[in-house]
């Protein structure tokens, strides 16, 4: 089977969570948006497919098509692929646990997006900067630690993977959010990461998986950019720590008393 992934061609975005699973399991797939128009790809094809052949259930991209099966929503697509290709737990209890974690990660992704588009996705970032600063400050100080503590706590209880005894699609999703947060909030993450050693170690292990390591080093892996979900605007990150500089006080000459 050759899967068809429908997603915007110039960004990682939510589609990257799906690409990571497809690459890790060695699936044959076509990234439709990245094909030239002459081969049935491109931006116009994505728009027409969303309004036509992928309807009625697909509300927005990404969408995955597997023959007659059409699946939308990132967490559901990665679950579908993971369960098909041995990248998911086997029992119902653990499969539901994996889906729970995946949906929580999806919430984190949405909140990361809303730091630069807190008012409306129809407006440019430049049109909502004051609100973005407030939203980003709350995200950095409260929400990032809460989400990362959640993932760290699961790893503390479960071991080297988030669910079950082997790597699943949710571990790949955790890798991607750590990478994305490092790009968007480098100063904040540099401060926070020592508090989450298990999550950082998971990120590093996933990056070393043979197929993923090959993918991450290839041109197929698009770079992060300020067109995607994780965007680097320095004004939305925490201020860089100041270097400790000793100030040498200039001593004023003491006045001599007259005798």
Boundary of a domain, candidates 209, 232, 251: 209
Are 67 and 105 in the same domain? no
Are 50 and 98 in the same domain? no
Are 144 and 72 in the same domain? no
> Considering the domain boundaries, does residue 226 fall inside one?
no
> Considering the domain boundaries, does residue 64 fall inside one?
yes
Are 140 and 200 in the same domain? yes
Are 79 and 132 in the same domain? no
Identify which has the larger pLDDT, 252 or 123: 123
Are 73 and 7 in the same domain? yes
Q: Report the CATH number at residue 174.
A: 1.20.1050.10
**CA-to-CA distance for 105 and 202, rounded, in angstroms?**
15
Are 62 and 126 in the same domain? no
Q: Report the CATH number at residue 12.
A: 3.40.30.10
Are 192 and 164 in the same domain? yes
Domain count, the chain: 2
Are 98 and 80 in the same domain? no
Q: Does 245 score more than 80 pLDDT? A: no
Boundary of a domain, candidates 57, 84, 111: 84
Q: Does 233 score more than 80 pLDDT? A: yes
Pairing of strands 63-66, 28-31: unpaired
Q: Give the pLDDT of residue 249.
A: 47
CA–centroid distance for 228 within its chain: 10
Query: Residue 74's domain spans which residues?
Result: 2-84
Overall average pLDDT of the 26-46 stretch: 96
> Considering the domain boundaries, does residue 78 fall inside one?
yes
> Considering the domain boundaries, does residue 224 fall inside one?
no
Are 158 and 96 in the same domain? yes
> Considering the domain boundaries, does residue 214 fall inside one?
no
Q: Does 44 score more than 70 pLDDT? A: yes
Q: pTM for this one?
A: 0.91
Q: Does 259 score more than 60 pLDDT? A: no
13 by DSSP, 3-state: which? coil
> Considering the domain boundaries, does residue 174 fall inside one?
yes
Quick: pLDDT tens for 164-219: 999 999 999 999 999 999 999 999 999 999 999 999 999 999 999 999 999 999 99
Are 80 and 174 in the same domain? no
**CA-to-CA distance for 117 and 119, rounded, in angstroms?**
6
Are 120 and 158 in the same domain? yes
Of the candidates 117, 114, 113, the residue with the CA atom closest to the CA atom of residue 128: 117
> Considering the domain boundaries, does residue 97 fall inside one?
yes
> Considering the domain boundaries, does residue 143 fall inside one?
yes
Quick: pLDDT tens for 63-112: 999 999 999 999 999 999 999 999 999 999 999 999 999 999 999 999 99
Write down the mean pLDDT value for the chain. Answer: 94
Count the Cβ atoms, other than its own, within 10 Å of residue 128. Answer: 16
Round to the nearest angstrom and report the end-to-end CA distance of the chain: 103
């Amino acid at each position: 089977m050759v899967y068809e992934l429908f997603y915007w061609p110039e960004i990682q975005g939510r589609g990257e969570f799906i690409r990571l699973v497809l690459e890790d399991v060695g699936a044959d797939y076509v990234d439709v948006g990245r094909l030239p128009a002459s081969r049935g790809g491109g931006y116009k094809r994505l728009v027409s497919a969303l309004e036509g052949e992928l309807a009625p259930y697909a509300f927005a991209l990404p969408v995955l098509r597997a023959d007659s099966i059409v699946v939308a929503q990132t967490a559901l697509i990665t679950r579908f692929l993971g369960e098909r290709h041995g990248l998911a737990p086997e029992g119902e209890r653990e499969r539901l646990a994996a889906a729970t974690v995946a949906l929580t990660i999806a919430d984190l992704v949405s909140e990361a997006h809303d730091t630069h588009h807190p008012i409306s996705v129809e407006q440019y970032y430049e049109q909502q900067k004051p609100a973005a600063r407030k939203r980003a400050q709350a995200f950095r100080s409260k929400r990032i630690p809460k989400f990362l503590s959640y993932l760290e706590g699961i790893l503390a209880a479960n071991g080297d993977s988030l669910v079950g005894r082997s790597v699943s699609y949710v571990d790949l999703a955790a890798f991607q959010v750590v990478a994305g947060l490092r790009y968007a909030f480098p100063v904040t993450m540099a401060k926070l990461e020592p508090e989450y050693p298990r999550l950082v170690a998971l990120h590093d292990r996933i990056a070393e998986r043979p197929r993923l390591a090959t993918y991450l080093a290839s041109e197929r892996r698009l770079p992060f950019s300020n067109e995607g979900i994780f965007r680097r605007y320095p004004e939305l990150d925490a201020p860089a720590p100041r270097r400790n500089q000793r100030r040498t006080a200039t001593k004023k000459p003491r006045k001599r008393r007259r005798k």
